[in-house]
Structure 1
């Protein structure tokens, strides 16, 4: 079951970029669906539509920046692989796992659903990520559509946009959460 409908505004703005069905396709560098969230450029390269609701995939490019707000995804398992650069990641399962780790090129991280997490780019960084089908559109719901191939400028989503994206994609923002470093 797809998380969003065909006329979902997070999808319509990008209609025609991805095939929207499980058939072979190629994307050249920079040809995916792109949104700017804070100073990070997210590019969806595979969605639930192409994988019969199995998973979605994206890339994230960002300059050195500030830590994003702590949050957790209630239904989404997420992984990321640092293609190039350096990324500090905070994770806390609110039980017995608490970590802050700096990942560099070639390193991998996994965030199970329900785990509080945040990250900060320590240098210009490119990350490949994937997660539970449908979640990939979260970045569009939070961000500003762009045709840029590199992160340009800053887009800070209004609180009501963040709240609506969180509700739609089962994400809880925890700005007061204190990670144990």
Structure 2
């Protein structure tokens, strides 16, 4: 398991929002740790700090947009549960499994570690996601801290930021990868 120090810069900007320890808490709608990544608003609801490094959970809100770059997480399993809206998800194990599925409200997708994947928001959508502990901070490392309640604008990180976040959170960007649509 990967743990990150209390002074990790991907946590510091958000100090005090989540309790940073496994104790009970409640946060209201829109009160989590928020970052804008491309045109998507990510809000961390619980991190590895609160779950003894077991998992992290977040929401992602976005309007219709372009497909995000193909990528794989080397250590992180994650899932998508569509709370409201429509999102297309591409997954490829680079062997036998190749799929593009459009998920709508109530649908679920599981993406194990080492599966190349990408997604595209088809219309205004809210997704609940969770993954292996520590990974949730990836959204802070690659994104821009914000107080927005709804996604607006676009934040495109420099490739050097994407690369550094990928190295830290074991994520490999694969812009040359071609899915079998």
Question: What TM-score do you get using the length of structure 2 for normalisation?
Answer: 0.99
Correspondence for 1:23? 23
Offset, 1:4: 1.2
Correspondence for 1:88? 88
1:14 and 2:14 matched:
yes
Match runs of 1:1-181 below 5 Å: 2-181=2-181
- The CA distance in 2 between the partners of 1:18 and 1:95, in whole Å, is 40
- The CA distance in 1 between the partners of 2:172 and 2:152, in whole Å, is 27
Figure out how many residues of one structure are paired with residues of the other and give that number. Answer: 181
Offset, 1:71: 0.1
Please give the secondary structure, in 1, of the residue aligned with 2:123. Answer: coil
Please give the secondary structure, in 2, of the residue aligned with 1:124. Answer: strand
- The CA distance in 2 between the partners of 1:170 and 1:159, in whole Å, is 16
- After the TM superposition, which segments of 4 or more aligned residues of structure 1 sit over 4 Å from their partners? none
Offset, 1:80: 1.1
Offset, 1:3: 2.5
- The CA distance in 2 between the partners of 1:32 and 1:50, in whole Å, is 13
Question: What TM-score do you get using the length of structure 1 for normalisation?
Answer: 0.99
User: Once superposed, what is the RMSD of the aligned Cα atoms?
Assistant: 0.6
Q: CA offsets per residue over residues 86-144 of structure 1, 9 Å max, x none?
A: 00000000110000000000000000000000000000000000000000000000000
Offset, 1:152: 1.5
Q: CA offsets per residue over residues 44-79 of structure 1, 9 Å max, x none?
A: 000000000000000000000000000000000001
